[in-house]
Amino acid sequence: MNIPPLPGHPHLHYAQGQLQLEGVRLADLAARHGTPLYVYSRAAMLDALAAYQRGFKGRKARICYAMKANSSLAILQLFAQAGCGFDIVSGGELERVLAAGGDPSTVVFSGVGKTRGEMRQALKAGIGCFNVESEAELEVLSSVAQALGLRAPVSIRVNPNVDAKTHPYISTGLKGNKFGIAHERVLATYRRAASLPGLHVKGIDCHIGSQITEATPYLDAMDRVLDLVQAIEAAGIAIEHIDFGGGLGIDYQGDAPPAADALWAQLLARLDARGQGDRMLMIEPGRSLVGNAGVCLTEVLYLKPGEQKNFCIVDAAMNDLPRPMMYEAFHGIVPLAQQRAGETQVYDVVGPICESGDWLGRERTLAVQPGDLLAVLSAGAYCSAMGSTYNTRARPAEILVDGSAAHLIRERESVSDIFRSERLVPAKI
């Protein structure tokens, strides 16, 4: 029987009334590993990556997974084996890349606050490029590299003042954002970088935000970056690569971002029209590779009717799924057992944490009873990675599904794991 997948989730479907990810029944995983539980689809991640690979076919390009979206070692291993580099923002993320078998020469190091220790660590590892975010960082990086007898490969992140038309917390390309060098300071900054003995200018970098759902901001940013490339090279400074960042959105609630291959067809056409089609290109997708590959499973604990709202209280919380609390973000919520018509109520789906901001979904129509299982959709990006142990809640286990196989890729944390590094002080007599 041909069972249609859930919209926006091609590997998630109901079979014999039970929700499956690829060939695995999610209820079976919940019974075996408990809830809350993150579950990811290998096929969904590789399908998302394949769209970028199709878009860049025949071009000089490198796809660097922005691992802040989800840094589980098995997911990094998957992308490394598929030929990806990595976009990192900390020394800890570099250690994860190396632990997962990633090639440090394919790593780009972004972020506004790199420490001297992180710079030394990355230089010794032999990373591909530092995406430098300020003029002060250039000076420090040059001195650190000189002390090691090295030259740091650098790309300067420019701020093109382009509105990505996304949530203000994940917009990064406007003048009021903390990221990058202001457009009018770019040429002077490149001249300074070229003069510093510990640096080797390699490229130019631009990233304008996250969860972008239309092509226009990318096209605007590309035009501004190409104008800068022309001015920089006219000043005698060669640009080997252009890094256009990431930020492509996913379908959370009927969003309609362009497919990665369709987006890059437009961008590459613009690049060719500007006579720059033979440039080495780099991109840093994150959410668009993993976001819709993951779900978070949760059990209904209690139903609490009220005069103004009905509450469905579940065992997952804002420490497991922080995006609704942080961004008022929408995640689809569906039952693991297919529901019959005519049994529904409207609920706010909330967790057990002592915060009014601990909600996962508002005004959701569900037919549920205590003990039922739900799947919170689009949980592959910025959920596990941004999770916490608030209220001393242990982090969930993580499962990677591959066809009919399910691999435990992170064990469930215990409470003793949480406070293992803490120490009591000597008691006073």
271-303 pLDDT tens trace: 999 999 899 999 999 999 999 999 999 999 999
Q: Does 354 qualify as catalytic in the annotation?
A: yes
Which range scores top for mean pLDDT: 141-150, 213-222, 260-269, 272-281?
141-150
Q: Could you tell me the residue ranges of all domains in the chain?
A: 5-41+291-418, 110-285
Average pLDDT score over residue span 402-417 = 98
Q: Please, which pLDDT band fits residue 342 given cuts at 50, 70 and 90?
A: low
- Is pLDDT at 43 greater than 60 in this prediction? yes
Counting runs of H as helices and runs of E as strands, what totals does the chain give? 12, 22
Structure confidence at residue 217 (pLDDT): 85
- Is pLDDT at 40 greater than 60 in this prediction? yes
- Is pLDDT at 1 greater than 60 in this prediction? no
pLDDT digits (tens, 9 = 90+) for 113-141: 999 999 999 999 999 999 999 999 999 99
- Please give the residue that has the higher pLDDT: either 56 or 167: 56
Mean pLDDT of the chain: 92
- Is pLDDT at 172 greater than 70 in this prediction? no
Q: Please, which pLDDT band fits residue 220 given cuts at 50, 70 and 90?
A: confident
Structure confidence at residue 167 (pLDDT): 41
Structure confidence at residue 306 (pLDDT): 84
Range 5-41+291-418 has CATH code 2.40.37.10: yes
Q: Please, which pLDDT band fits residue 177 given cuts at 50, 70 and 90?
A: low
Q: Please, which pLDDT band fits residue 340 given cuts at 50, 70 and 90?
A: low
In 10 A of CB 42, how many CB atoms?
A: 20
CA-based torsion, 95, 98, 104, 108: positive or negative: negative
Structure confidence at residue 52 (pLDDT): 95
Q: Where does 248-382 show beta strands of DSSP type E?
A: 280-283, 294-304, 311-314, 333-335, 345-350, 359-366, 373-376
Q: Which residues share a beta bridge with 18?
A: 15, 337
Structure confidence at residue 411 (pLDDT): 98
- Is pLDDT at 174 greater than 50 in this prediction? no
Q: Which of 179-183, 213-217, 263-267, 322-326 has the lowest mean pLDDT?
A: 179-183
Percent of the chain at pLDDT > 70 equals 94
CA-based torsion, 29, 32, 37, 40: positive or negative: negative
Structure tokens at 50: 């394949």
Average pLDDT score over residue span 386-415 = 97
The fold adopted by the segment(s) 110-285 is TIM Barrel (3.20.20)
Contact 228/155 with Cβ under 8 angstroms?
no
Average pLDDT score over residue span 214-230 = 89
Phi-psi region of 126 (alpha: psi -120 to 50; beta: other; left: phi over 0): left
Of these residues, 296, 312, 354, 383, which one is catalytic? 354
- Please give the residue that has the higher pLDDT: either 30 or 7: 30
- Is pLDDT at 394 greater than 70 in this prediction? yes
- Is pLDDT at 170 greater than 50 in this prediction? no
Residue 130 CA from chain centroid, whole number? 19
Contact 233/227 with Cβ under 8 angstroms?
no
Average pLDDT score over residue span 364-379 = 96
Measure CA of the first residue to CA of the last residue in the chain; give whole Å.
74
Q: Please, which pLDDT band fits residue 254 given cuts at 50, 70 and 90?
A: confident
In this structure, what are the phi and psi dihedrals at residue 223, rounded to the nearest 5 degrees?
-60, -45
**Cα–Cα separations (whole angstroms), residue 414 to 340, 379, 396, 398:** 37, 22, 9, 14
Average pLDDT score over residue span 92-117 = 97
Structure confidence at residue 162 (pLDDT): 66
- Is pLDDT at 171 greater than 60 in this prediction? no
Percent of the chain at pLDDT > 90 equals 80
